[in-house]
Amino acid sequence: MTNKQTKIVHIERLQLKRLATGFVRGEADAFTSLYKRLGGHVFKTAMRILKNEADAHDVVQDTFIRAWASRQRLRDPSCVRAWFCRIAANLSKSHWRRSRQTESLEGVEVVCRSTPQDLLEKAQTSKKLKDAISGLTPRQCEVITLRVERELSYKEIAAELGCSSGSARVNYSYGVVGLKRLVAL
């Protein structure tokens, strides 16, 4: 990262921290600004779990409603993005479990329209990835997911997982090396 990019990232983090502080105090303008800045990150988190745009949009709305109601629980304003994304992940998982319990035959029709070759390729790719991920430690898997899919900084990962940022870096490095080794087999 260039010096200019580093300064921009630093300024954005300071702005987010300032907005988060106002949000905790109940400032509606700060809440609106956080929605505009973090809505995309929250949406990506929900999409990663739900794989459905309409459901992900619902989770985004629910996330911001829930965050506003529990804004006093935000302990570290510098980790506001991680906090919102954790709420979204939890709501998405709950939504996913509920939708699995009430799944209709409509989902079966979609599967039936796929060709056998498509289903086989998808199953093989999915199995290889699951096998590779299962070869990692649970902490490495969590850190890689937070870093790659949710684009969190090591500091944000550390805050979310309750570890040091150095530990997050080490787990990420070892996880990437492990995935490369396991996928190559």
Distance CA 41, CA 84 (A): 9
Together in a domain, 99 and 149: no
Instruction: Please check whether residues 89 and 44 belong to one and the same domain.
Output: yes
Cβ proximity of 1 and 9 under 8 Å = yes
Regarding whether 146 and 78 lie in a shared domain, the answer is: no
Average pLDDT of the chain is: 82
For residue range 91-141, what is the model confidence (pLDDT) as tens digits? 988 888 777 765 543 444 444 455 666 666 666 666 776 677 677 888 888
Same domain (yes/no): 90, 152: no
**pTM greater than 0.75 (yes/no):** no
Domains held by the chain: number: 2
Mean pLDDT of 12-16: 89
83 and 161 housed in the same domain: no
CATH number for the domain harbouring residue 156: 1.10.10.10
Domain housing 85: 1-103
Q: What DSSP state is assigned to residue 147?
A: I
For residues 137 and 36, which has the higher predicted lDDT (pLDDT)?
36
Q: Does pLDDT of 79 surpass 70?
A: yes
Q: Which residues of 69-104 are buried (b: 16+ CB within 10 A; e: fewer)?
A: eebeebeebbbbbbbbbbbbbebbeebbeeeeeeee
Within this chain, do residues 80 and 150 fall inside the same structural domain, yes or no?
Answer: no
What would the two tokens of residue 162 be?
A: 């309750």
171 assigned to some structural domain:
yes
CA-to-CA distance for 17 and 10, rounded, in angstroms?
11
Mean pLDDT in residue range 63-92: 91
